[in-house]
Amino acid sequence: MTAIMLTRIDNDRNMARFYKLDVQPTLFGECSLVREWGRIGRAGTVRIETYRSRGRADIAMALSWTQKLKRGYR
């Protein structure tokens, strides 16, 4: 699966945000969900969550994705 890049832009509120989700393998046979977010054009904040299997990481990514869609990201 490739990375998912979401944006939320609202010119009236001077809002231009991005949210990136990506699943990557670790050196120890597990998988990590890498989440990065911030203002478009600036360095973002990165958080990494490690899961025992690719399936669990994919589920976590899907849950994060649906939450962001509910908050107005596209």
In angstroms, the CA 60 to CA 72 distance is 19
Q: Per-residue confidence of the chain (74 residues) as pLDDT tens digits?
A: 579 999 999 999 999 999 999 999 999 999 999 999 999 999 999 999 999 999 999 999 999 999 999 999 99
Task: Specify the pLDDT at position 32.
Answer: 97
User: Hey, which bits of the chain come out as E strands?
Assistant: 4-10, 15-25, 31-39, 45-51
Enumerate residues 6+ apart whose C-beta is below 8 A from 31: 23, 24, 25, 50, 51, 53, 54, 56, 57
Sorted by where each starts, the structural domains of the chain and their CATH numbers stand as 4-70 (2.20.140)
Task: Specify the pLDDT at position 2.
Answer: 76
